[in-house]
Amino acid sequence: MANLKTAEKKTKAQSMGLHTEVLTGKTQQKFFNPDEAENFFYWGAYDVDFNKRTDLDVKDMDCKEANRRIDELMSQGYGTIVIKNPQGKHSLGVGILNKLNLIFEGSLGYFGVGSIDGPMVRINGRVGWSCAENMMAGKVVIEKNAGSCFGAAIRGGDLICKGSVGARTGIDQKGGTIIVGGDAGAFTGFMMQRGRIIIMGDVGINLGDSMYDGTIYVGGKIGSYGSDAIESPMTKSDIDWLKRKLKVAELGENFDVSKMTKVVAGKKLWNYDALEPTEKKGAI
């Protein structure tokens, strides 16, 4: 029997040009089925209390030690952890598969909060390359700028940068939403496969190059379009969703989302044709 709630979601998503099929594989079904995602938890996840709060000064720790200490604190039930003096260190806050309020008072280096599933993260500074790579769920808010490969291959969740981001934002993105308050560099949405990217400012050259699917919204100027990236008309669903999403992201109170440019895949690249590999060879 059809699940009406899911069917309704599918209709909305389809009107925005998004895929809706449930992915195969045991783990991915757990993560991407909208009815089950809310109730999913990892074996061994900690039962934390968001009102139980502590500080962790990582000034004299390397990333392994700092991440181990975060895990220890979660095992003790701390649901809100404030990291002091991150000082641009790499790979902090990675691999957290737990509900948690994680606050960084400062900036992170490369691969910050990568491969997370569930935590709410706020970074009161800047992040380096590949922030939140492979993020599955949760929310990450960066108060300042971000480096290149921001949100590389994320599968879900909301990744928000209030400043500007570097090149290849959302490269290989497979789901979720990336929101940027400022500008973005070249190759934004490069080979993205699903999910949505919102850039409120300008973007560099080769926007959406070789994207398979997904949607990119741009508020400012576009340096150039990449291969097979095309403009698509904005719908009422787009506008409603953008308004709601920017509100959640604490951005763009007076921003006119109806004037944004919507970019999608033209689906004319070789990978969208019906030829078998042997036939392609013949065609060449």
Partner 1 sequence: MCGIAGLIHRGKSSNVGSELQLMLQALKHRGPDSTGYALYAENDGKNFIMRFKVGENVGEGSTSVNEDASVYDKRKKLVDNMLSELGAKVIKEDQLTPYSFRYEMEFNNDLMEFSKKIESIESVEILSIGKSLELIKDLGDAAAVSERYGLGEVKGTHAIGHARMATESGVDIKSAHPFWGYPFSDVSVVHNGQLTNYWNNRRVLENKGMRFMSECDSELIAVYLAEKMRNGATLEEGMKDSLTGLDGVFTYFVATKDSLGMAKDTMAAKPLVLYESDDLVAMGSEEIAIRSILPHEIDTYDPFDGEVKVWQI
Judge whether 119 and 95 are in contact, CB under 8 Å. Answer: no
3-state DSSP call for residue 207?
A: strand
Binding mask 135-154 for partner 1 (x = CB under 8 A): ---------xxxxx------
3-state DSSP call for residue 154?
A: coil
Buried b (16+ CB within 10 A) or exposed e, 35-49: eeeeebeeeeebebe
Residue with tokens 């990449």: 226
Neighbours of 235 (CB within 10 A): 13
Q: Binding to partner 1 by residue 156, rule CB under 8 A? A: no
Applying CB under 8 A, the site for partner 1 has a residue count of 29
CB of 21 to partner 1, least distance (A): 33
CB closer to partner 1, 95 vs 125: 125
CB of 190 to partner 1, least distance (A): 10
Q: Binding to partner 1 by residue 88, rule CB under 8 A? A: yes
Among 126, 139, 174, 194, binds partner 1 (CB under 8 A): 126
Judge whether 183 and 162 are in contact, CB under 8 Å. Answer: no
Among 10, 89, 99, 155, binds partner 1 (CB under 8 A): 89
Q: Binding to partner 1 by residue 196, rule CB under 8 A? A: no
CB of 200 to partner 1, least distance (A): 16
Q: Which residues pair with 105 in a beta bridge?
A: 84
Q: Binding to partner 1 by residue 106, rule CB under 8 A? A: yes
Task: Please choose, out of 46-54, 75-83, 124-132, 260-268, the segment that lies near partner 1 by the rule CB under 8 A.
Answer: 124-132
Residues 6 or more apart whose CB falls under 8 angstroms from that of 50 comprise 79, 80, 99, 101
CB closer to partner 1, 136 vs 159: 159
Among 181, 204, 208, 219, binds partner 1 (CB under 8 A): 204
CB closer to partner 1, 128 vs 175: 128
Task: Please choose, out of 9-17, 38-46, 102-110, 245-253, the segment that lies near partner 1 by the rule CB under 8 A.
Answer: 102-110
Q: Binding to partner 1 by residue 129, rule CB under 8 A? A: yes
Q: Phi and psi at residue 196, in whole multiples of 5°?
A: -135, 145
Q: Binding to partner 1 by residue 114, rule CB under 8 A? A: no
> What is d(CA 24, CA 32) in angstroms, rounded to the nearest whole number?
10
Residues 6 or more apart whose CB falls under 8 angstroms from that of 104 comprise 83, 86, 92, 93, 112, 121, 122, 123, 124, 125
169: closest CA among 141, 196, 137? 196
CB of 129 to partner 1, least distance (A): 6
* Site of interaction with partner 1 (CB under 8 A): 87-90, 106-107, 109-110, 125-126, 128-129, 144-148, 163-168, 183, 185-187, 204-205
